[in-house]
Structure 1
Amino acid sequence: MTSGYIMIAIIFWISSQLVESFILNRFTKPTCNITSEKADCSNRSLVNISSLNLAHDIKILDLSENNFTNVTDTFFKPISELNITELFLKRCHIQYISPKAFALIPNISRIDLSFNNLSLNAMKEGLKGLNGSSIEHLDISNIITSKEPQTLPEDTLLSLHNTNITNLRMRSWNINKVIKNTFQNLSCLQALDLSVNKIHALEMEGLPEIRQLNLTWNKMTSLPKMCDSQNVSLVPKLNNLSLAINHLLDSQEFQKQGHCLPNLYYLNVSFNLMDRIKSDSFSTLKKLGILSIGNMLTYDLVIEEGALNSKTLEMLYLGSYKRVSKDTFNPKTLFKKCTQLTRLEMSKFDFSDLSIVNFHVMISPLKNLSELILRHNKLNNVPETSNFPNLSFLDLEGSTIRHVHRDSFQNNSHLEKIILRLNHLTTIRQDTFTDEIWKNPKLFIDISYNPYACDCDLEWFIKWAYKRGIIVENDDYQCDSPKKWKTTRLDIHIQSLKTSCHPVNKVFITLLTIFSFMFIFLFGLMLAWKLRWDNKYYLHKWTDGRRSAYQKIIDNELKEYDGFVAYNTRDRKWIMSELVEAMEKKEHYKLCLHERNFLPSCAHVDNILESIEASRKFILVLSNNFMEDQWCNYETIIANHKLADGNGDRVFLILLGKISSKHFTIALKTLLKSVENAEWTLNVKGRKLFWNKLKRFMK
C-alpha cells in the first residue's frame, strides 16, 4: 500500500514538472533580446543575472535599468565564461560594487556605470576589480551624490593605475576643482569628459596623451594653464577642446597660450561671457581648423579688427542675437585673413541695417567656400555667391528675402543644395536660378513655409518639383493668394493653374478635329495594348472553362522542392515580397532559392545542378539583371537542355520587366517560343492572369 502511494506521488510530481515546463516555455517571454553579438537585457526588473542563459558568442551585454543594488563578488559568475567586452549598467540603482566583482570579466573593454547611487568610496572600491583588465572606455557619469561642490580627490582613480583606459566620462559629479596629477596614473588617457560640473579651476598636469577634453557647462572664467613652468606644453596632443557654456571673459587667452596647444584643431567657446572677440585671438593656434564662437551670453558682442585672423581655419560658426552696426565689426576686414574657410555658419545676426553691397564685400575674401549657412539673419536679399565657384550648399533659412534672381549665381555650377524656407518668397520662376543650376541632377531645393502667390508664375516650379521628385504635397507649401486659396495646399490647385494658364486655342481645336481621324487606328492599337491584360484575362477565363475533360497527369513525383527559382540577386526584393509571399506563404509550395538553400560547402555549379534535380519545376525569373549574370546564363543553358530532353513542361519563364534586345540570344528565343511563360505587370487583372498561370504550372 505504501509503495503504491509513493508511486502515485512520483507520477504526480513528474506530471507537475512537465506542466510547469510547458507553461514556462509556452508563455514566458525571453529575458533578453539577442541581436548578433549583443544581448539587450535592459529594463527587465532583474535583481541578479543568475537566470541569464546567454550564448557563447555574446560580447555586448546591456543590463541597464534593472535593480542591482549590490554587485557582489560572484555577481558576474554566470557570464564569467563568456568573452564579454562591453557592459552597460546604466540606471541600475547600484550602491555597492565588490572590489572583486569585475575581476570575473577580465576581457571587458567598455563599462557604463552612469546614473547610479554610488558614494565616492564605494566607487573607488568597486573600480579595484578593473585593475589589470582590458578596460579602455569607462563612463562613471552622474553617480556621485554629493550635494556640495567638491574638489576631485587626487586618489579617486588610483585603483585604475594598471589599466589602458583611453576614454573616461565623469559628467555631473558636482566637481568645482581638479588638482594636478589627478589623472597621472591613467597614462593612456586620450579622451576626458568633465562636462556638466561646476569646475572653476583645472590643473592640466598628468594628461600628456590627452586628445579630446570636454569642459562644456562648467564655471571656467579663464583658460586652464596649458604649459608648465618651463613653458612646455602639458597637452601636446590635444586636438579637440570644448569650453562652451562657461564664464570665459577674455578671448586673447588663446593667443597667449597658442604655443601650448600645438595640435589643437577643434575649439568651441560658444555661450560664454566674452563681450569682445579681440584682435588675433586665435592666430597663434597653428593647426586650428574648426572654431565655434556663437551665441555669447552678452548682448553687445564686438568683433575687433583681425579677431578671426587664421591661416588654417576651415570651418567657422558665428552666432549672435545682436543687430549688426558699425560697432559690431568691420565688414570690409572681418574675413580678410581667414581665406582658407570652406564652411561658414553665421546665424542669428540682424543684418537688416547692412547693405547688400557691404555684405558682399564682407564675404568676398572667402574664395574657397563650399558651404554657406546664414540662418535667421534678417537678410532682405540673397547675397551674391558668384565669387564662390566651389559652393555646393547655401542655407538662407528664416530671413526676409522676397526675390531671388539668377544674377546672384553666375558661377555656381557645383551648387546642389539650396535652403530658402521661412522667407517671404511669393514665387519661384525659371529665371530664379541659372540653367546650369536647374539642370544639376543632384539639385535639392527647400522653399517651404513661404507665402506663395498661386498664379501662373509658380506653375513652372511646380512642374519641375514633381519631375525631380521634390515633395510639395503637404502643409509646408501653402498658397497665400489669391484670397480664396489662402492657407490651402499648393498641390491641390495644379489642375486649376493648368486650365487658367493655358486656355485652349481655337486653331488648335480645328486642327485637332481635322487630323483626329488619322489617329483613330493608332488610338485603337494603343487602347488594345493598354487593355491587353484585361483581354488576356477574360480570354483565359473563357478558354479555361471550355477545356476538354482530358488533362495532363499532374506531376506528383516526390522531390525535396516544388520548384527551383533561378534569379539575379538584384531582383531579390521582388522574389521575397511577391513570389515567396504568394507561392510559399499562401500556396504552401516549397521553393529553392540560391541565397537561402544552397550549401556553402559545395561548389556553386554543383549546388545549381543538385538543386534543379531536387525540384519538380524549374522557374527562371528573366530580367536585364538576370541576362547580365554569368550564372544566370548558365541556368538558361540548363533550361534549354531540359527542353531538348522533352522536359519543357517543367520549365516556366517569368518576365520581370522589359528585356533589352541585346540580351535576346538564340537560347532565350528558343525558350520563349517553346515553354510556358508569364509577364509580371502592375495591372490588377494582369496580375491575376500571372498568378493563375503560375499556380496551374506548379500543380
Structure 2
Amino acid sequence: LGPETVGVLNCSDPCITFLLLYITCVSAPVGGFFLESCHLSHNAAICSDRHLKLVPKDIPPTVISFDLSKNQISRIQAGTFTNLLVLKDLNLHQNQILKIDNGSFSNLISLQKLTLNNNRLVKLGQGTFDGLSNLLELRLNTNNIAAVSSTAFQSLIRLKLLDISQNHLGTMKNLYMMLQHMPQLQQFTVRRNKLKHFYSWEFTNHSLDLQVLDLSNNPIRDFRITNNIFPNLTCLSIGDPFSVIKMEWDVKNKTFLRQVSSIDISGLHTTLQVMEELLETVNTSLTSLAANGIKHNRTKLINLACSIPTLSQFQFRRGNLRIITSDFLKPCVHVTELDLSENHIKTINENAFKSMEKLTVLRLSQNKLSVVPSAIQTLQNLSELDLSNNLIGTVNCHDFSNQTKLKELNLKNNSITLKDCVFKDLVRLQVLRLQSNQITDLKGAFKSSLSNLKRLHLNGNKLKAIRNGEFNGLKSLLNLSLHQNQIETLDKYSFVGLIKLTDIQLQSNALKKITFNLLANLRRLDLSDNRIQYPENATLTELPFSNLSCLEELSINAQHHRGKSTLPSNFLQGLKNLLRFSARNCQLIYLDKDTFTYTPKLERLDISSNDLQTLSPEHFAPIRNLKSLYISRIALQSLDFLRDAKLTKLKFLQGRHNQYSVITEDVIKSLPSLMYLDLKYISFYCACDNAWFINWTRNSKQTLVNGAYNYSCNYPDNFKGKKLLDLDLKPCLYDVNFISFVSTSCIVCFVMVGSFAYHLMRLQLYCAYYLLLSWLFDSKYKNNQAPHQYDAFISYNYHDEPWVMGELLPKLEGEQGWRLCLHHRDFQPGRSILDNITDAIYGSRKTICVISRRYLESEWCSTEIQAASYRLFDQKKDVLILVFLEDIPTYMLSPFHRMRKLLKRQTYLSWPRAAGQPGVFWEKLRKALQTGNDPSEENVLLTLTGT
C-alpha cells in the first residue's frame, strides 16, 4: 500500500508529523512480544478469520495496517482504537457490525483507508466518522444502510473515494447529505441501491470535483441534469440489467458532460432514441464504451457507438452473438481495442475486421471458435490477441501470417496441436500463453522462430520429455513455465539457446535427474513436486548447478519417491549467489555439514517437514547472512545448536511441530535480530525451566511470538492442556540452583571443618559435648533431687557379678558398713531401666564402675557410666570411682573413660595390681568412698598404668 493509492498526510501539519516521529522513535522495538489473537507482519496487525467478537486491545501502537476482516464483531464502541495514532489502513470487512458508537474512530488521526464492507449497518448516525479528517478511502458496500445522518460525514474533508454500493439508499437526500461534507471526493460508487431517479438539483447545489460516478444496477427511471455539477467527470456507469422500466435521459446542455471519456451502459434498458441521446451527449469526448449484456438493437447500437470519432475502446460482452458478419463492425474504423468475450461466437467472416485497420487489441475469449479466425489476417497492426477458452484444435502455419506486430498471444484452455511453422511470422511476439492445451509434443515449434519472445507459458499440458534444442530459437526468453506437465526426461541440451532465461518453473512433473548448466543467467528455478532422490550420501560427479552462479532462488520441495533421501554435500556447488533455498518435505534424513559451503549469501532457508532430528552449528557456519529459517516438522530435539550458530542477522524463525519442550535464555539471546518467532504446536514443559522464555514472551517488545497465547503445556501431567502463558512463575523467583550450590557448599565446609576439629581437638570436643549433655540431664533432676539413700551405686556387667557378690559386697557392706545400690536388689520393678539407673546414680553419693572388657562392650553399662559422667561434668563433683578388674590398654577405653582420665587421673583403682596386697586395695576404696565430692580433695589412690 503506497501513496499512489492512499495518498499521504499533509506535510504542512507539523503536529501530525511530530507525532508520527515521536511514536516511531519511542516505540522502537527492543526485545519479544505476542498478540493474543493476531500476528504481525511488516507493521501490519493481521487478525482476520479469528472468530473475534471484540476488537483486541493488545495491538502495538506502531502498526500501520490493521486487518479485522471475517470475524464476528457486532459493535464498534467508543475508545476501541485509542492508541493507534499512526494507523493508516483499517479493514473491518465481513463482520456483523450493527452499530458504530459516536466517536469510535476519533483517535485514528492518521487513518487513510477504512473498509466496512459486508456488515449489517442500517444507519450512519451523528459523529460516526468524527476525527477521520485524513481519511482518503471509505468503503461501505454490502450493508443494509437506509438512512444517513446529516453530520455523519462532516469530518471527511479529505475523502477521495466513497463506495456505498449494495445498500438500501432510496432517495437523493441521503446522497446530498454525504456529498456536502466531502469537497475533495473524486470517486463515488453507489451501485446496487434503490435509487429510482437521479436529479442534479437533489444531488448537490454546487459543482463537484467528482471524476468517477457509478450508478449502475439501480432502477433509475429518470436521469436529469440541469446544472453543470460534474465539470471534471471522466467516468460514468449507469444501467440495470434487471430493470423492466425504460430509463429516460435528459441532459439540458451537452457541455455538462464534456469531460466524460469512459461510460459503462451495460444492461441499460431504454429506447434506441434515448441511447442515441445519451451517446450524443458525450460525442466529443468518449474514448471507452462498455455495452455488455445488451441483446436488443445490437447492430444499431454498434452503428451509434462507432460513429463517435473519439471512441477507441469498445467492450461488447455477453451480447449473445453467434456470428460476426462482414458488416457488423464496419463502422468501427477508429476502434483500437475490441472486446467480444463471453459471447457464443462460432463463426467470424473473413472480412469482419477489414475496416478496423487501427485495431491493436482483440479479445475473443470464452466463445465457441473451433479454428483461428482467418479474419485476423487483415489486422496488420494487432499487438494483442486473446483466443483463450475456445474450442480450437489445430493451429495451421498460415493462421498468424501478417501478424508481424503481434506482441501478446493468448491460446490457453484450448486443445491445440502444434506445428513447427505455426509461429514463424510472429517476429515481435513477446508473450505466448499455451497452458492447458493437452500438448504432448512441441513439434519443433520453438527451434527457429520467436526470437523476441520473453515469456512462454506451457504449463498444464502433457509433455513427457524436453528434447535437445527444443527452445533453440528463443534467444530473448526470460520466463519459461513448464510446471504441471508429465516431464520425466530433460536431455543434456534441452535448454540450449536460452541464453537470457532468468526464470524457469518445472514443479509438478516426474523428473528424477536434473542438469541446468547451460542456463548461466538463471535467477529462479522451481523443481518442487518431482521425483528427485539421492539415497546415499555420496558426492556428485555430475553437478546439476555448477554453472548457475547467478541463481538466487532454488526450490526442490515435496519430492515424491519411495524411501528416504539425503542431500549430497556438493549438491549446491556453484550457487555462490543463492539467496533463497527450499527443500521442504523431501524425506531427508541427513544434511552434511558442508552442504551450504557453496552458498555464502543465503538469506532464506526452508528445510521443514523432513526427518533430520538434529542440526549442528557447523551447518550454519558458512551462511551467517541468514535472515529467515524454517525448521518445522523435522523431529528436532533441541534448539541448542543456535547458541553457537552465530546467526546474528536472523529475523524470522519458524520451528513448529518439533520435539523440544524448553526454550532457554541463551538460545534466544544468540539471535539478537530476531523479529518473528513461530513455535506453534510444541509440547511445552510447564515448569521453571521455561520461566525465562515465558517472561520474555510477555514483556519484551522486539520479537513477535506468533500464536503464543495458544501455546499449551504437555508436561507434567497435572499441567497438561493448560496455557503456557498462564503458568504461575512466583515459585520460580528463587534460583534453586544457586540455593542448592550455597547449601551444599556450606555442608561441605562444615564437614571439612568438623573433620579437622575432630582430628586435632577430639578430646576437648568430647569434653564440651558431654558438659552440655550433663547440664541437660542434671537440669532435669537436680531440682527433684532427694537426700542420698545410698553411699554408692555399683555399676557392673552380669559376667562380673561373682566378683561383686563374692568380694566387693562382703567387704563394703559387711565389714565397712556402706549402703550399696545393686541392680537386682534395689531397682524398682515396673519402671524403665533408664529411670532406675538415673535415680540410682543421683540417689547415691558415689558411683563405682566395675570395669572389665565385657563391661565396655555392654550397652547398658555404657549408659550407666555416661549418666555418671554427666553428673561429674555438670556438678564438678568427684562422684565417679573406676575399679578395673583387669588390665585394659588405653586405646580400648571408650571416650568416657579417657575423659575421666583426663580430668582426674588419681581416681583409678586396679584389682590386678592389688593382688599382692588386697587389704591396701580395700582401704583405698574405703577412703575414696569416705572422701567428699570436691575434686580438689587429696586422695591417695592406686593409679592405672599401661598404655
Q: Identify whether the pair has TM-score above 0.5, normalized to the shorter chain.
A: yes
CA–CA distance in structure 1, aligned partners of residues 618 and 610 of structure 2: 19
Deviations 1:262-311 (A, max 9, x none): 11111011111222222221133111111111112x5xx3325x355422
Q: Which structure 2 residues correspond to residues 532-571 of structure 1 after superposition, within 5 A?
A: none
Mark the CA change 1:390 to 1:128 in structure 2 (over 3 Å): closer, same or farther: farther
Mark the CA change 1:271 to 1:374 in structure 2 (over 3 Å): closer, same or farther: same
User: Secondary structure of 1:285's partner?
Assistant: coil
Cα distance, 1:360 vs structure 2: 3.2
Mark the CA change 1:220 to 1:454 in structure 2 (over 3 Å): closer, same or farther: same
Match of 2:631 among 414, 420, 437: 420
User: Secondary structure of 1:434's partner?
Assistant: coil
Deviations 1:247-273 (A, max 9, x none): 223311xx4243311111110111112
Cα distance, 1:423 vs structure 2: 4.9
Q: Report the counterpart of residue 348 of structure 1 in structure 2.
A: 558
Aligned length: 468
Q: Report the counterpart of residue 212 of structure 1 in structure 2.
A: 431
Q: Report the counterpart of residue 131 of structure 1 in structure 2.
A: 333
CA–CA distance in structure 1, aligned partners of residues 271 and 403 of structure 2: 28
Deviations 1:175-220 (A, max 9, x none): 1123334344554321222211221236114322110111111122
Deviations 1:615-643 (A, max 9, x none): xxxxxxxxxxxxxxxxxxxxxxxxxxxxx
1:121 is the counterpart of 2:121: no
CA–CA distance in structure 1, aligned partners of residues 286 and 445 of structure 2: 38
- Tell me the amino acid that sits aligned with residue 449 of structure 2: L
Contact 1:399-1:423 at 8 Å conserved across structures: yes
Higher relative contact order (CA 8 A, sep 6+): 2
Identity of counterpart residues, as a percentage? 19
Mark the CA change 1:88 to 1:454 in structure 2 (over 3 Å): closer, same or farther: farther
- Scaled by the length of structure 1, the TM-score of the pair is 0.55
Deviations 1:119-165 (A, max 9, x none): 2426x765555433343xx555443465998542442435645xx54
CA–CA distance in structure 2, aligned partners of residues 458 and 236 of structure 1: 63
Cα distance, 1:413 vs structure 2: 3.6
CA–CA distance in structure 1, aligned partners of residues 250 and 403 of structure 2: 34
CA–CA distance in structure 1, aligned partners of residues 412 and 616 of structure 2: 46
Cα distance, 1:376 vs structure 2: 2.8
Match of 2:520 among 311, 317, 334: 311
Mark the CA change 1:169 to 1:435 in structure 2 (over 3 Å): closer, same or farther: same
Q: Report the counterpart of residue 486 of structure 2 in structure 1.
A: 273
Q: Which structure 2 residues correspond to residues 25-424 of structure 1 after superposition, within 5 A?
A: 25-26=172-173, 32=190, 37-40=211-214, 43-44=217-218, 46-47=240-241, 57=259, 59=261, 61=263, 74=276, 77=279, 80-81=282-283, 83-84=285-286, 96=298, 99-100=302-303, 102-104=305-307, 107=310, 117-121=320-324, 128=330, 130-135=332-337, 140-144=340-344, 151-157=370-376, 160-161=379-380, 164-184=381-401, 186-201=403-418, 203-223=422-442, 225-226=444-445, 233-252=448-467, 255-296=468-509, 298=510, 301-303=511-513, 306=515, 309-320=518-529, 322=531, 324-325=533-534, 333-350=543-560, 356=566, 358-380=567-589, 384-400=595-611, 402-421=613-632, 423-424=634-635
CA–CA distance in structure 1, aligned partners of residues 174 and 317 of structure 2: 34
- Scaled by the length of structure 2, the TM-score of the pair is 0.42
- Tell me the amino acid that sits aligned with residue 544 of structure 2: L
CA–CA distance in structure 2, aligned partners of residues 190 and 295 of structure 1: 29
Cα distance, 1:72 vs structure 2: 12
Mark the CA change 1:416 to 1:75 in structure 2 (over 3 Å): closer, same or farther: farther
Mark the CA change 1:166 to 1:149 in structure 2 (over 3 Å): closer, same or farther: closer
Q: Which structure 2 residues correspond to residues 9-20 of structure 1 after superposition, within 5 A?
A: none
Cα distance, 1:388 vs structure 2: 1.9
- Tell me the amino acid that sits aligned with residue 545 of structure 2: F
User: Secondary structure of 1:264's partner?
Assistant: coil
Cα distance, 1:52 vs structure 2: 10
Q: Which structure 2 residues correspond to residues 416-455 of structure 1 after superposition, within 5 A?
A: 416-421=627-632, 423-425=634-636, 428=639, 431=643, 433-438=645-650, 443-445=674-676, 447-455=678-686
- Tell me the amino acid that sits aligned with residue 416 of structure 2: I
User: Secondary structure of 1:246's partner?
Assistant: coil
Contact 2:534-2:565 at 8 Å conserved across structures: no
User: Secondary structure of 1:394's partner?
Assistant: strand
- Tell me the amino acid that sits aligned with residue 372 of structure 1: F
Q: Report the counterpart of residue 467 of structure 1 in structure 2.
A: 701
User: Secondary structure of 1:241's partner?
Assistant: strand
Contact 2:504-2:525 at 8 Å conserved across structures: yes
Mark the CA change 1:474 to 1:504 in structure 2 (over 3 Å): closer, same or farther: closer
CA–CA distance in structure 1, aligned partners of residues 608 and 548 of structure 2: 25
Over the aligned positions, Cα root-mean-square deviation in angstroms equals 4.7
CA–CA distance in structure 2, aligned partners of residues 178 and 411 of structure 1: 53
CA–CA distance in structure 1, aligned partners of residues 216 and 451 of structure 2: 41
CA–CA distance in structure 1, aligned partners of residues 336 and 367 of structure 2: 34
User: Secondary structure of 1:361's partner?
Assistant: coil
CA–CA distance in structure 2, aligned partners of residues 63 and 484 of structure 1: 69
Q: Structure 2: where are the runs of 5+ without partners? A: 1-168, 177-187, 192-207, 219-238, 347-365, 652-670, 740-947
> Which stretch has the larger CA shift, 173-182 or 471-480?
471-480
Q: Which has the larger radius of gyration?
A: 2
CA–CA distance in structure 1, aligned partners of residues 628 and 247 of structure 2: 52
Contact 1:400-1:423 at 8 Å conserved across structures: yes
Contact 1:151-1:179 at 8 Å conserved across structures: no
Contact 1:239-1:263 at 8 Å conserved across structures: yes
User: Secondary structure of 2:406's partner?
Assistant: coil
Q: Structure 1: where are the runs of 5+ without partners? A: 1-21, 509-699
Cα distance, 1:237 vs structure 2: 0.9
Contact 2:493-2:518 at 8 Å conserved across structures: yes
Mark the CA change 1:324 to 1:183 in structure 2 (over 3 Å): closer, same or farther: same
CA–CA distance in structure 1, aligned partners of residues 672 and 316 of structure 2: 49
Contact 1:264-1:288 at 8 Å conserved across structures: yes
User: Secondary structure of 1:26's partner?
Assistant: helix
CA–CA distance in structure 2, aligned partners of residues 169 and 441 of structure 1: 53
Contact 1:208-1:237 at 8 Å conserved across structures: yes
